[in-house]
């Protein structure tokens, strides 16, 4: 099955560009505010409603911002605020620490579909992942916080990523990978075959805080679909 492409965007214009450029998931995020930087809720609501008004039926996710695991009340309040914006999924970063277990339990009890995103810079905690797999989440993701330190493949070894994909898939959830992934990572992604891969850095004109680049988006989409690409933007 083709690996689906999630593209992170920060505006209506970028969301429509991503939708027209082959994205399978539209992910609302402010890249300038961190790995899972949150947009203002009014912006999230405006983008979600603009997409629906343009009859874009793609699933839309939005992040709550980079909140620490000890800030559970703030995390839950933000999930509520973002979920009420008309998105399909609310993405929440899960740090590798003891408090994360209680955060996962609380997120699973939320009224909105939450996608936990395991912050994998220090590897993946198999116990935490197994715990999440036993809860009612539609999908689980791994991503990195430090986008300057290479890609997810520099942070986590292939066997560990393979185990993550297999564990999540066995639980019946969708599994997604992200973390400064580049076109050069597509072969490794294919080997792991997650349900979807998430991108921002690879589809911008410069670093991930700059504008979305239609050519890079099209080239990446073609590559993920297994189509020959004549020349990839550097």
Ligand X SMILES: O=C[C@H](O)COP(=O)(O)O
Query: Which two three-digit tokens encode residue 160?
Result: 């560990």
Near ligand X by CB under 6 A: residue from 38, 87, 132, 147: 147
Asked if residue 180 binds ligand X (CB under 6 A), the reply is yes
Q: Is residue 147 annotated as a catalytic residue, yes or no?
A: no
Asked if residue 29 binds ligand X (CB under 6 A), the reply is yes
Residues 85-124 that bind ligand X (CB under 6 A): none
In terms of DSSP H, where are the helices of the chain? 12-20, 41-53, 72-83, 100-108, 126-133, 152-155, 158-170, 186-192, 214-224
Asked if residue 10 binds ligand X (CB under 6 A), the reply is no
The rounded distance, in Å, linking the Cα atoms of 124 and 91 is 17
Choose one: 48-56, 153-161, 175-183, 223-231; the region binding ligand X (CB under 6 A): 175-183
The candidate with the shortest Cα–Cα distance to 54, out of 82, 85, 83, 19, is 19
Query: Which two three-digit tokens encode residue 15?
Result: 């969301």
- The residue (of 55 and 66) whose beta carbon lies closer to ligand X is 66
The candidate with the shortest Cα–Cα distance to 64, out of 74, 78, 46, is 78
Q: C-beta of 217: minimal distance to ligand X in Å? A: 12
- The residue (of 6 and 44) whose beta carbon lies closer to ligand X is 6
Residues forming the site for ligand X (CB under 6 A): 6, 8, 27, 29, 143, 147, 178-181, 198-202, 208
- Positions marked active-site: 29, 91
């Amino acid at each position: 099955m083709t690996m689906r492409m999630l593209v992170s965007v920060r505006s209506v214009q970028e969301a429509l560009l991503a939708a027209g450029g082959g994205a399978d998931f539209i992910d609302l995020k402010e890249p300038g505010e961190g790995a899972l930087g949150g947009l203002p809720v009014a912006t999230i609501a405006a983008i979600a409603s603009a997409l629906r008004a343009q009859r874009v039926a793609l699933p839309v996710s939005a992040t709550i911002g980079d909140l620490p695991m000890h800030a559970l009340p703030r995390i839950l309040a933000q999930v509520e605020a973002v979920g009420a914006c008309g998105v399909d999924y609310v993405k929440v970063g899960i740090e590798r620490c003891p408090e994360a277990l209680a955060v996962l339990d609380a997120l699973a009890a939320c009224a909105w579909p939450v996608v936990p995103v395991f912050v994998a810079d220090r590897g993946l905690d198999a116990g935490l992942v197994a715990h999440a797999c036993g809860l009612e989440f539609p999908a689980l993701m791994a991503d990195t916080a430090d986008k300057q330190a290479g890609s997810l493949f520099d942070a986590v070894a292939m066997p560990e990523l393979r185990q993550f994909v297999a564990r999540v898939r066995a639980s019946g959830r969708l599994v997604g990978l992200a973390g400064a992934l580049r076109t050069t990572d597509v072969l490794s992604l294919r080997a792991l075959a997650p349900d979807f891969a998430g991108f921002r850095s690879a589809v911008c004109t410069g670093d991930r805080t700059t504008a979305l680049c239609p050519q890079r988006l099209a080239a990446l989409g073609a590559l993920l679909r297994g189509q020959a690409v004549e020349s990839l933007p550097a």
